[in-house]
Amino acid sequence: MLKQDVGRSWELEFVAIDQLVPEDHLVRKVARAVDFSFIREKVAHLYCADNGRPAIDPVVLFKMLFLGYLLGIRSERQLVREIEVNVAYRWFLGFTLQEKIPDASTFSQNRRRRFRESTVYQEIFDEIVLQAAKRRLVDAHTL
């Protein structure tokens, strides 16, 4: 980030994205409570390692969808727009301020081509709920 002082000279000021997300922000609480790494193994059979361009990390894809559900954002296009401008969401997903966010069509393509015949969405949701329940963040009454 550029900063101008009184003498009108410019200096370069570096700010880590981590510094911009408050410790009590919802996404930090989720990041501390849920280990999303299980997703890679759960969907590995749905990805081809040596065909076409590299896929978006499935953890990122599902964390993006999770944000949409958590925040009540039903439109994938709107979700992408929110992630593009919200520093906390970028941090949660592991994006820098400069990185391009995946296009909304990525969700529909994955849903139509990769996950259509699969129960993977439900399995991932169930695992996230189990992790949250173990940490006493949800209970049967909440669900």
Does residue 15 lie within any of the structural domains?
A: no
Does residue 80 lie within any of the structural domains?
A: yes
The pLDDT value given to residue 89: 97
Does residue 71 lie within any of the structural domains?
A: yes
Contacts 24+ apart (CB under 8 A), 29-37: 30/66, 30/70, 30/92, 31/92, 33/131, 33/132, 33/135, 33/137, 34/128, 34/131, 34/132, 35/131, 36/62, 36/63, 36/66, 36/128
Q: Which domain holds residue 38?
A: 21-134
Does residue 122 lie within any of the structural domains?
A: yes
**Total structural domains within the chain:** 1
Does residue 126 lie within any of the structural domains?
A: yes
**One-letter amino acid for residue 102 of the chain:** P
Does residue 140 lie within any of the structural domains?
A: no
Indicate left, alpha or beta for 10 from its phi (over 0: left) and psi (-120 to 50: alpha): beta
Does residue 16 lie within any of the structural domains?
A: no
The pLDDT value given to residue 134: 87
Phi and psi torsions of 11, nearest 5°: -130, 150
Q: What is the DSSP letter of 62?
A: H
Q: Which of 30, 39, 32, 33 is nearest to 62 (CA)?
A: 39
**Which residues, at least 6 apart from 68, have a Cβ–Cβ distance to it below 8 Å?**
74, 76, 79
2 membership: H or E segment, kind and range: strand 2-4
Does residue 33 lie within any of the structural domains?
A: yes
* Per-residue pLDDT tens digits of the chain, which is 143 residues long: 545 555 555 555 677 899 999 999 999 999 999 999 999 999 888 877 777 667 789 999 999 989 998 899 999 999 999 999 999 999 999 999 999 999 998 877 877 777 777 788 889 989 988 898 888 877 756 55
